Amino acid sequence: MKFTTAIAFALLTGAAIVSTGCSVARDQQTVGSYVDDAAITTAVKAKMAEDKGVSATAISVETLNGTVQLSGFAKSQAEKDRAESIARTTKHVREVRNSIVVRP
């Protein structure tokens, strides 16, 4: 009897998890949203790596729900602005938060 109850409980719990959708531990994002954000981050980093006016290794890029967060250090205001421009023109980016610090 206990075994039957345990199986019924496991099936009910499994059905509840599946019906509510999967979520990733990071801010309760859906798996699809997390994958989209990872693709945006990769695209922004790739564009920065191709651009000679931006030091891609000194600037960090993180994405959450389509919002790109830039942080790190730039050698000039022009480099900071260029990094923001690259992020803004990347496909599927909804918003850019530029926290890059200019440090000559």
Please state, in angstroms and rounded to a whole number, the distance separating the CA atoms of residues 83 and 20.
38
Q: What is the pLDDT of residue 87?
A: 97
Looking at per-residue pLDDT, the higher value among 24 and 104 belongs to: 104
Give ∠ CA 22-23-29 in degrees, rounded to 5.
Answer: 135
Q: According to the model, what pLDDT value does residue 4 have?
A: 59
Alpha-carbon dihedral 41, 55, 78, 81, rounded to 10 degrees: 10
Residue found under tokens 């389509």: 66
Look at residue 43 in the predicted model and tell me its pLDDT.
96
The torsion angle over the Cα atoms of residues 97, 93, 52 and 100, rounded to 10 degrees, is 10
Structure tokens at 73: 């250090």
SS3 3: helix
The pTM for the full model equals 0.70
| pLDDT tens digits for range 46-102 | 999 999 999 999 999 999 999 999 999 999 999 999 999 999 999 999 999 999 999
pLDDT tens string 7-59: 544 554 454 444 444 444 545 667 777 779 999 999 999 999 999 999 999 99
Domains observed in the chain: 23-102 (3.30.1340)
